Amino acid sequence: MHTVSTSFVGARPGLSFRQCLLAAFLLITALLGGAAVHALLTLEQVAGQSREAARQAVSLTETAQHLAERTVAMERSARQYLVLDDRSFKTRFETAWAEAVAARRVLLESLPASSAPADDEWAQQAQAAQGLLEEVSDNEAALDSLTPIFARLHALTETMSADSRREVERRHEALLASIDQQGRWLSLVVPGAIALAALLAFGFGWWLSRPMRRIGQAINRLGDNRFDQPISVQGPTDLRLLGQQLDWLRQRLAALEDEQERFMRHVSHELKTPLAALREGVALLKDEVAGPLSGDQREVTHILSDNAGALQNQIEDLLRYKAASFQANRLQLAEVDVKALVQHGVEEQRLQCQARRLRVTVTGPKLMARIDTEKMLVVFSNLLTNALRFSAPAGSIRFMLAAMPGHWALDCIDDGPGVAQEDIARIFDPFFQGRHQPHGARHGSGIGLSIVREYVQAHGGRVRLMPSSAGAHFRIELPHEPPR
């Protein structure tokens, strides 16, 4: 007996499903946004390095050119001074020399240490030229002495210009290498961030979908009247709360199911006792124990006897249907030859078939499946009983077995009047009586097809009424391996 409270305890405080989704979205957005910002900063850094390298290259080139021009100006001023003996040319020489020294200093700061000896020699040669201008005794001899000095100065200037060009090329190559390295780094960071974001999305999706699947499975179990398994849902707060509500509902349904079972047993007991006494009294009257009966009295006793028997059958059918519904999900699975089981069900009703001269055939391959032998035998027998009831004398009933990918099917076809169009939707409802009833036959209980549906669904399959031009055509489809 199940006893449950009328309320349930709420879930512990925590993140809700919406908050978890928002957190996952923000985390993935932050990851991708961080990768994008890093890529933009890297590109900006590379662009800045490129601009700075270009500026330095232009500056080095201009400085080297300026040094060469000042060296030429120094030579021209020195020669003009020695030829014309004009002090202003000496002043120009000194000015050009000062500007050349400034250019040398800029170059020396930018060039590698290997250029220092050339710079020192340039300074020595320039100092020697200035010394010639300071102590001039013979202008012709001084001019001749200037020629090798300035030839060496020009050569040193060219060497320093070549060093500056090599330095520009080195910096350019270093910049290209840096750009290439940054590109390789970005080619790893961006796809890595995308892959990690996808992995996080998949992980969050899987983590959040697990409680949803458990909730769906729990609802399916409740729909199948399987109340024996507790419902426990882990995950966000609202989903845990929903799981607790479903478990509370499961307990309530189980309690109601127990109450219904007890009520049915009580009612059946309370009805059977007076009904048995009634039938016994009617039997005594029919046997004229209390005295002879007139014709009218005997007819009344027959009416009483028939209706008392019909009432007892209906009570027993109701109990049988409730028992079948209760046992439907308690399967005892075993590997069984389905065709042999169908043939066994046909053999059990062989005498009824012979009495009506009905021909029953079972066709199809030998098919092994994991089923509950007892319950599926009830299914086959109920289908055959239904077909026997509605088939005309000397008719035929066909069972056709077929194996298909993932499942197997059994068709039961008779040549009776079939099912009325307006009865199709309710043909499997409990205690439903269709419009096409056999002439002169006693009404059935209306639970045979309902039990067929209960047992087939318990095996994870389905039973359908197929379109048919004549007779009734029922099809059962079941998986090779029922759900556990």
> 359 and 251, same structural domain?
no
CATH of the domain at 77: 1.20.120.1730
- Per-residue pLDDT at 466 exceeds 50: yes
Q: Which band of pLDDT confidence, cut at 50, 70 and 90, is reported for residue 443?
A: low
> 117 and 53, same structural domain?
yes
- At 189 the three-state DSSP class reads helix
Domain count, the chain: 3
Q: Which helix (H) or strand (E) holds 119?
A: helix 116-134
* pTM (global) more than 0.85: no
* Interval 173-179 mean pLDDT: 81
> 142 and 121, same structural domain?
yes
- Per-residue pLDDT at 85 exceeds 70: yes
pLDDT at 119: 74
- At 418 the three-state DSSP class reads coil
* CA neighbor of 380 nearest in space, from 402, 419, 410: 410
* Interval 223-237 mean pLDDT: 76
Q: How far apart are CA 292 and CA 148, in angstroms?
A: 168
In a domain, 9, yes or no: no
* Interval 201-207 mean pLDDT: 76
Of 196, 217, 240, the position where a domain reaches its end is: 196
- Per-residue pLDDT at 45 exceeds 60: yes
- Please state, rounded to an integer, the average pLDDT across all residues of the chain: 79
Q: Return the higher-pLDDT residue of 224 and 28.
A: 28
In a domain, 202, yes or no: no
Of 146, 173, 196, the position where a domain reaches its end is: 196
In a domain, 247, yes or no: yes
Of 312, 327, 342, the position where a domain reaches its end is: 327
> 235 and 345, same structural domain?
no
In a domain, 80, yes or no: yes
In this structure, how many other beta carbons lie within 10 angstroms of the beta carbon of residue 85? 11
Which range in 151-155, 228-232, 357-361, 437-441 is most confidently predicted, on average pLDDT? Answer: 357-361
> 247 and 180, same structural domain?
no
Instruction: Supply angle C-alpha 175, 176, 180, rounded to 5.
Output: 115
- Per-residue pLDDT at 6 exceeds 50: no
Tell me the CA distances in angstroms from 351 to 60, 125, 204, 347, 377, one per residue in order: 116, 136, 64, 8, 17
CATH of the domain at 299: 1.10.287.130
CB 81 within 8 A of CB 133: yes
> 357 and 431, same structural domain?
yes
- Per-residue pLDDT at 93 exceeds 70: yes
* CA neighbor of 384 nearest in space, from 404, 367, 399: 399
> 36 and 182, same structural domain?
yes
Which residues constitute the domain of residue 26? 19-196
> 293 and 277, same structural domain?
yes
Torsion of CA 185, 186, 189, 193, to 10 degrees: -170
CB-based contacts of 96-100 (< 8 A; 24+ apart in sequence):
96/70, 96/71, 97/70, 97/126, 97/130, 99/66, 99/70, 100/67, 100/70, 100/71, 100/74, 100/126
Question: What share of the chain has pLDDT > 70, as a percent?
Answer: 85
In a domain, 211, yes or no: no
CB 231 within 8 A of CB 203: no
Q: What is the DSSP letter of 369?
A: E
CATH of the domain at 380: 3.30.565.10
> 294 and 368, same structural domain?
no
Tell me the CA distances in angstroms from 216 to 9, 209, 212, 222, 231, one per residue in order: 21, 10, 6, 10, 11
In a domain, 209, yes or no: no
> 303 and 249, same structural domain?
yes
In a domain, 369, yes or no: yes
* Interval 273-298 mean pLDDT: 75
> 350 and 292, same structural domain?
no
In a domain, 207, yes or no: no
pLDDT at 441: 47
pLDDT at 362: 92
Backbone dihedral angles phi then psi of residue 337, each to the nearest 5 degrees: -80, 105
pLDDT at 1: 44
Q: How far apart are CA 268 and CA 316, in angstroms?
A: 8
> 338 and 317, same structural domain?
no
